Amino acid sequence: MGNDGKTALLQVDNVYLSFGGVNALLGVSFEVQRGEIFSIIGPNGAGKSSLFNSISGLYRPQRGKILFKGQEITGMPPYKITALGIARTFQNIELFKGMTVLDNLMLGRHILMKTGLLSGGLWFGKAQKEELEHRKVVEDIIDFLEIEHIRKKQVAMLPYGLQKRLELGRALALEPELLIVDEPMAGMNLEETEDMARFILDINQERQTTVVLIEHDMGVVMDISDRVAVLDFGKLLAVGTPDEVQQEPAVIRAYLGEDTELYRR
């Protein structure tokens, strides 16, 4: 339960995950409250991606539970988790490179479509109305992410930074309550990083979407996060505000050694 007595949007409860003899997660527990930006940080191999894959249904933990809005989703198939209101982006861009920006965004809506293939193919009645509603959502995302100028371009022709932005847009097309974002700034230059940070803040504040973020850029994490969780070798070292986490001795040791601050403003 959250501090106000309400059920947290996402609850990770004592989750253990291993592959053969390798322990990826060792009793990880935390809660994400509705409306916050919650970042997960840690050195390479800390278990961050394993945690994301467990939340989104790609991995099934051996022990522990994951709950979304009070409902257990541990081991549920990814498409069912998506239908409940969780969407994610991937560190390695998962777009259809031979299709246009617009078509990729429309495909992002497919799980929400209710009309059958027959009526959809024949373009009448409910299918037409639904198609127009989905198009309206997609047009809103195009406007929101400032990608109007590339809407009809083939994805393979786009620079990396715009592909990352489109990956974010495709997750937004699902209109999630919880957006899981996996290293959105990886490989970006300073200007692209600042743009992406602004979009994530706007998604959280304007679109009222809760965000869980994995990111290596400590400057971005400390600037935009409400709370931060720190993983190291599958263990949770600390959870707290950016200021609290930066002063946690175990976090400082894991990152930079005994005598160094985690992050200097």
Q: What is the pTM of this model?
A: 0.87
DSSP state for residue 220 in the 8-state scheme: H
- From the list 209, 26, 177, 179, the residue with the least C-alpha distance to 167 is 179
CA distance 145 to 203: 10
Phi and psi (nearest 5°) for 205? Answer: -85, -45
User: How far, rounded to the nearest angstrom, does the alpha carbon of residue 215 sit from its chain's CA centroid?
Assistant: 10
Query: 27 with 66: CB under 8 angstroms?
Result: no
Angle (nearest 5°) at CA 132 between 99 and 87: 60
Distance, C-alpha 64 to centroid of its chain: 21
Three-state secondary-structure class, residue 90: coil
Per-residue pLDDT of the chain (265 residues; tens, 9 = 90+): 545 557 899 999 999 999 988 899 999 999 999 999 999 998 888 899 999 999 999 999 999 999 999 999 998 999 899 999 999 988 777 788 889 999 999 887 766 654 444 444 544 556 667 777 888 889 999 999 999 999 999 999 999 999 999 999 999 999 999 999 999 998 899 999 999 999 999 999 999 999 999 988 888 999 999 999 999 999 999 999 999 998 888 888 877 554 444 544 4
Task: Write down all domains in the chain, each with its CATH number in brackets.
Answer: 1-85+177-265 (3.40.50.300), 100-175 (no CATH)
In degrees, to the nearest 5, what angle opens at C-alpha 226 toward C-alphas 224 and 227? 115
For helices 101-108 and 160-172, what crossing angle results, to 10°?
Answer: 30
